[in-house]
A and B are shown apart, each in its own frame.
Chain A
Amino acid sequence: MSQSNRIAGGQIDRSQTFRFTFDGVPYQGHPGDTLASALLANGVRLMGRSFKYHRPRGPLSAGSEEPNALVHLRSGARQEPNTRATVAELFDGLTATSQNAWPSVKFDALAINDRFNSFFTAGFYYKTFMWPAAFWEKVYEPIIRRAAGLGSLTRQEDPDEYDKGFLHCDLLVIGAGPAGLSAALTAGRAGARVILADEDFRMGGRLNMETLTIGDAAGADWAAGVVAELASLPNVRLMPRTTIIGAFDHGIYGAVERVSDHLATPAAGKPRQTLWRIYSSRAILAAGAIERPIAFENNDRPGIMMAGSLRAYANRWGVAVGDRVAIFTNNEDGLRTATDLRAKGVDVIAVIDARTDGTLLPGIRHLKGAEVIDSSGRLALKTITIRKADGKTETVRATALGVTGGWNPNVNMTSHHRARPVWDEGLQSFIPGDGGPPGLIVAGAAAGHMSTHGALATGQAQAIAALELLGMKAKADTLPKAEDAPISITPKWYVTGGKGRSWIDPQNDVTVKDVKLAHKENFSSVEHLKRYTTLGMATDQGKTGNVIGLAVMAGLTGQTIPETGTTIYRPPYTPVAMGTLAGRSRGKDFKPFRLTPSHKWAEEQGAVFVEVGMWLRAQWFPRPGETHWRQSVDREVLATRKSVGICDVTTLGKIDIQGTDAGAFLDRVYANTFSTLAVGKCRYGLMLREDGMVFDDGTTARMGEAEYVMTTTTANAVTVFRHLEYCRQVLWPDMDVQLISTTEAWAQFSVAGPNARKLLEKIVDQDISDDAFPYMGAGEITIGGTRGRLFRISFSGELAYEIAVPTRYGDALIRRLMEAGQEFDAIVYGTEALGVMRVEKGHVAGNELNGQSTALNMGLGKMVSKKKDSIGMVLSQREGMVDPNGYRIVGVKPVDPKGQLTAGSHFLEIGAEPVMANDGGWLTSKSTRRIWAAISP
């Protein structure tokens, strides 16, 4: 199919042709096109439907501020909803479909909403759907929810990968238009480490879209020359296709680089997008300005767009949006569009100029003091109606209308620290206010310097200023000559007089009428206006139209626009894919795996693993013929009770504590006493939080006069260590005590059961007889010459030890233990069997140590020594915590062991009404034969 609206010129590569489809229809375009420019070149103006009224829509803009031309890009699992056609880079084979329309974008059933628009005013839903009461959820809301949303997700997993990265620079320049290029060049030539980022795939900003010259060169060529010089500087990093999404604290900026979005699929090993965290000493915002419309009746038809965008499509992409073009303007920039289009041979039928002053454009029908008051054309613009200075109206045939109400400096990022923009009367726009992100300064049109010369000059000056603050000197090279036209604008926000609807926020279908209704109902503050009408809450966040809503409200309240105020922008600058923000932390890579030293061996045994925090632990070890986990667990428990079982307990936290004050330190951090513990012995310790609740428990062994080894629970290994460092550094800074976490340095196994000693005697080099190594003994040992540690402790109720070797020998040790244990029918057991045995022995664990329990609740009240100061001792004595009627953890044996009990069950007297007043406590943990329960006395 021919590109009927393609005209000469532009920065597209006509030597290559890309094929693509929209709603299944094949079209052709060229490298350098966006999806929007290519569709417009093919005469396609209808690209989507609006949110509420399902009005037919085409592109309003040529940039990321686009509210209308949102499509599904790609298909299958790669389908991307709400993609702005105006920034989607064309590639060969691209497929796109329209969204929020059924059965098709041309014949959309829900366009019936438009017929009933007088009912669907702002906030109408707050006033109705209340009767009958049950109907909201059963009838009304389901209908509303089915119609909600714009694009859709396919519910398939996103097949692409995303990366994250970190960059550092002296100066981050945001935007590569004339101001940004000037700033980057100035700083780059001075040797500063510069990052220049621009959301476009071609740097140059508006210079690519204008016919302006800089020096002797066309603007676009000058930009290309500067980009080439910057690319040659090793201290400059150019980041096209990169959007700075937010200004965060201390010079940190988030950036999204679209690495592969211009390709059909990412190259092997390449991510689709990368989220960069940029650490900048200084930053210059050179994000330009965004054109705003003038609202008039039916100003939302395909073919009506921003005048500057109409010009951009012609100049950059060689596209004439229509064959009969009119311009509606209140400022000088509208004339630039008329002039450029005419130079391209486009038929400019009229310039409707709201201003009454100034000169007339020669050779064009230039109507001063006139307004566009209406338009027609169901799926695309057919006519516009003009009200001339004399009040007479005239309807003329037009296929495109460029509208400009002036340009808004793109202050978005200056508000990211909640600074409010301030009003500039001369520009009739908001410009950056004080209190922006520290280190961020603004140059060019973003700061209100609207001419090309202004952009070049302020870009250079701000770069010099930024570098000076870093102690670097940059040179002010002579600037090339560029236009420096003054601003000529007559405020014109919306056309009055009609009865129809004039759109302000086209995506959300917010019209001037809605603002008037909000005012009538006293939703007059800007925040109420926004929330009541949804103005500015669409995917474009009101980048084009917000200020018009404010102006309408100002007119109604009799206040000025600055008195009316403005809402502020928040990150992200443009919407960011969730996949990009998540990076590689998804699927199995969501969090790292921590594996125990016996993991590989356990895998060989066919163990079933379970997530315990970040750890993966063997839960049980099924044997052939076992079809239910209970069989495996019962076997493991019984075999351990009968002979000997082995379990990897490496995940318990291990902390070496050394120093002459180590014992005194432990007395402070444990509720019970450790300074009296004999060398070579261990003791169970109870640790409280400062609020007197139980924090953690575990055994701590005294390995030497000034050396202890603490164990913590798996869950609290990190927090206990952090807490001990706090006590050591902050509370008692002069105590002679040193800590190191050795959780990952030692592989540790529990060897439990009546034959535990016999098994260990086979492999431990020393005498570990009951006399030599009594209950609660601890000490250094060797295993075939390899150093290790042995603790005679039991949480499972049997004769038991824990044996530790340096982690690298952990795999060898489990193999050795199992081999040596063959004669005893030694088995390995997992966390389930461990849990069963500890419940039967009567040890509390995670389900009981839930941070809500006191030592008294646990039946461990006597362990809290009051003879010494320890963390939590004082506040554990509060009246509510020593209440004799508080719950107690007790062991319970079920009368009927066959009955099924579930942990978490509550106890009620038989026949009692199930209400909280009759609650007798709950079951905290259960094993096969006993349960642990919290019982209210």
Chain B
Amino acid sequence: MIINHPILGPRDSQEFVYLGDASLMTRPDGMTAGIEEFHDWLYNRDNPAGLHRELWYHEQGDRSWLVVTRNTVTHEITSVELARDVARKMGRSK
């Protein structure tokens, strides 16, 4: 596969490490959320057959974490964003 890195351009996916569903970005706050909320966030997945937003890490590259939107049936990639930008848009900060 080829991932079109937003800064570096098209790169073979072999340069990247895969983590999983981008829903992992919505980590609850450990001082307010309890076990049930953390459990649902960490363990359960939509696991769609179709568009999937997922986290990839450019380990053999610039170390960017990326949010890749990819179809799990066709493997077509429709968007690649820097995860930090996405996280900030989601309201994550410190």
A–B touching in complex (CB under 8 Å):
yes
Chain A contacts to B: CB under 8 angstroms: 248-252, 279, 417, 438, 661, 664, 690-691, 718, 722, 725-726, 729-735, 868-870, 873-875, 877-878
A730-B1 contact, Cβ under 8 Å, with A870-B30, A874-B30, A877-B35: no
* Centre residue among B2, B29, B63 by max chain A CB count within 10 A: B63
Partner of B84 from the list A733, A868, A877 (CB cut-off 8 Å) is A733
**How many pairs of A and B residues are in contact by the CB < 8 Å rule?**
84
Name B32's closest neighbour in chain A (CB-CB). A869
Closest to A661 in B: B94
Q: Are A249 and B88 in contact (CB under 8 A)?
A: no
Task: Specify which of B34, B42, B75, B87 is in contact with A249 (CB 8 Å cutoff).
Answer: B75
A730:B76 contact, CB within 8 angstroms: no
B88 touches A734 (CB 8 A): yes
* Complex: chain B residue closest to A731, CB-CB: B27
Min Cβ gap A78→B in Å is 31
Give per-residue flags for B56-90: 1 if the beta carbon is below 8 A from chain A beta carbons, else 0. 01010001110000000011110000111001100
Residues in A whose Cβ lies below 8 Å from that of B38: 690, 874-875
- Bound complex: CA A726 to CA B31 (Å): 20
Residues of A within 8 A of B59 (CB): 718, 722
Whether the Cβ atoms of A729 and B94 lie closer than 8 Å is no
Assuming the A-B contacts A690-B42, A869-B29, are A874 and B35 also in contact, with contact meaning beta carbons closer than 8 angstroms in the complex? yes
How many angstroms between the C-alpha atoms of A868 and B31 in the bound complex? Answer: 7
Name the B residues within 8 Å of A868 (CB-CB). Answer: 31
Nearest opposing residue in chain A for B34, CB measure: A874
Q: Are B87 and A730 in contact (CB under 8 A)?
A: yes
* Shortest Cβ distance from A725 into B: residue: B63
Evaluate contact between A734 and B57: CB separation under 8 angstroms.
Answer: no
CA of A500 to CA of B42 in the docked complex: distance in angstroms? 64
B residues near A731, Cβ cutoff 8 Å: 25, 27, 87, 92
Q: Could you say which residues of chain B place their CB within 8 Å of the CB of A722?
A: 17, 57, 59
Closest to B64 in A: A729
Number of interface residues of B (CB under 8 A): 36
Smallest CB gap from A878: residue in B: B35
Q: Which residues of B contact A729 (CB under 8 A)?
A: 64-65, 82-84, 87
**A875 and B39 form a contact (CB under 8 A):** yes
Contact call A250/B35, Cβ cutoff below 8 A: no
One of B24, B42, B74, B88 near A875 (C-beta < 8 A)? B42
Chain A residues lying within 8 Å of B82, measured Cβ to Cβ, are 729
Which A-chain residue is minimally distant from B1 (CB atoms)? A249
Interchain CA distance A730-B87 in the complex, whole Å: 6
**Judging by beta carbons under 8 Å apart, are A250 and B87 in contact?**
no
**Can you list 13 A-B pairs with a CB-CB distance of less than 8 A?**
A249-B2, A722-B17, A726-B55, A726-B65, A729-B82, A730-B24, A730-B92, A731-B87, A732-B92, A733-B88, A734-B94, A870-B30, A874-B38
Q: Check A869 against B55 for contact (C-beta < 8 Å).
A: no
Query: Which residues of A have CB within 8 Å of B65?
Result: 725-726, 729-730
- Which residues of B have CB within 8 Å of A279? 2, 12
Nearest neighbor of A873 in chain B, beta-carbon distance: B30
Q: Are B55 and A730 in contact (CB under 8 A)?
A: yes
Which residue on B lies nearest to A726, using beta carbons? Answer: B65
Contacts of B84 in A (CB 8 A): 729-730, 733
CA distance A730 to B65 in the complex (A): 7
B8 within 8 Å of A by Cβ? Answer: no
> What residues on B are CB-neighbors of A875 within 8 Å?
35, 38-39, 42
* Most chain B Cβ neighbours within 10 Å, of A250, A718, A875: A250
> Once the chains bind, are A733 and B17 in contact (CB under 8 Å)?
no
Report A-chain residues with C-beta under 8 Å of the C-beta of B35: 874-875, 877-878
Closest-by-CB residue of A relative to B14 is A277
Minimum distance in angstroms from B19 CB to a CB of chain A: 7
**Inter-subunit contact B93/A869 (CB<8 Å):** no
B33 beta carbon closer than 8 Å to chain A: yes
Q: Are B75 and A869 in contact (CB under 8 A)?
A: no
A691 contacts which of B30, B31, B42, B64 (Cβ < 8 Å)? B42
CB <8 Å contact, B31 and A869: yes
- Which residues of B in the span 1-39 have a Cβ within 8 Å of any Cβ on A? 1-2, 12, 17, 19, 24-25, 27-31, 33-35, 38-39
In the complex, besides A690-B42, A729-B65, A734-B92, 10 extra interface pairs with C-beta distance below 8 angstroms are: A252-B2, A438-B74, A722-B17, A725-B63, A729-B87, A733-B92, A868-B31, A869-B29, A874-B28, A874-B34
Minimal beta-carbon separation of B41 from chain A (angstroms): 9
Bound form: Cα–Cα A725–B57 in Å: 9
Contact among A250, A691, A730 for B25, CB-based, below 8 A:
A730
Which residues of the partner chain A approach B28 to less than 8 Å between Cβ atoms? 874
- For A691, the chain B residues whose CB sits under 8 A away are 42
B5 vs chain A, min Cβ distance (A): 13
Q: Chain A's nearest CB lies how many Å from the CB of B83?
A: 5
Which chain A positions have C-beta within 8 A of B42? 690-691, 875
How far in angstroms is the closest Cβ of chain A from B50?
Answer: 15
User: Would B75 and A730 count as touching, CB distance under 8 A?
Assistant: no
Task: Kindly report which residue of chain A lies nearest to residue B55, judged by CB atoms.
Answer: A730
Q: Name the residue on A nearest B90 (C-beta).
A: A733
9 closest residue pairs by CB, A with B: A869-B30, A734-B93, A250-B2, A733-B87, A733-B84, A249-B1, A729-B84, A874-B38, A729-B65
Query: Complex: how many Å from CA A17 to CA B53?
Result: 63
A-chain residues with CB within 8 Å of residue B39 when the two chains form the complex: 875, 878
B13 CB, min distance to chain A CBs, angstroms: 8
Closest residue of chain A to B37 (Cβ to Cβ) is: A874
Bound state CA distance, A722 and B19, in angstroms?
10
Q: How far is the CA of A873 from the CA of B42 in the complex (A)?
A: 13
CA gap between A731 and B42 in the complex, in Å:
14
